[in-house]
Homo-oligomer: A and B are copies of this chain.
Amino acid sequence: MWLKTSCDLSFDITGPIPFVLMMRPRSGAQQWIAREEYRLEPSVPVFEFTDIYGNLCQRLIAPTGVFEVRTSAEVMTSDDTDQAFGAPFVEIQNLPNDVLSYLLPSRYCESDRFHDMASEITAGERLGYNQVAAISTWLRNTIIYCPGSSVVPISAAEVNSKQIGVCRDLAHLGIALCRSLSIPARMVVGYLYRLEPMDLHAWFEAYVGGRWYTFDATQAKLKGGYVAVGYGRDAADVAIYNQFGPAIYPTTQTVGVECISG
Interface residues of A (CB under 8 A from B): 18, 20, 26-29, 32-39, 43, 45-52, 54, 57-59, 61, 76, 91-93, 97-98, 100-101, 103-107, 109-110, 112, 152-153, 182, 236-237, 242, 244-245
Contact = CB atoms under 8 A, between A and B. Distances in A.
B245 A182 contact: yes
Nearest to A93: B18
A127 to B, nearest CB: 12
Nearest to A33: B38
Contact of A59 (B33, B37, B93): B93
Contacts of A59: 93, 97
Copy total for this chain:
4
Contacts of A49: 97
A5 to B, nearest CB: 14
B46 A27 contact: yes
A27 B106 CA distance: 28
Main secondary structure of the interface of A (DSSP, over half): mixed
Contacts of A48: 26-28, 32
A171 B29 CA distance: 35
Given A27-B58, A28-B47, A59-B93, A105 B34 contact: no
Contacts of A153: 112
A48 to B, nearest CB: 4
A220 to B, nearest CB: 29
A18 B91 contact: yes
A37 B35 contact: yes
A50 B50 contact: yes
Contact of A50 (B39, B54, B76, B107): B54
A61 B95 CA distance: 13
A81 to B, nearest CB: 16
A159 to B, nearest CB: 15
26 contacts: A18-B92, A26-B48, A27-B47, A27-B48, A27-B58, A28-B48, A32-B45, A32-B48, A34-B38, A35-B37, A35-B39, A36-B36, A50-B50, A50-B54, A51-B97, A51-B101, A52-B52, A52-B101, A59-B93, A101-B237, A104-B237, A105-B107, A107-B110, A112-B152, A112-B153, A182-B244
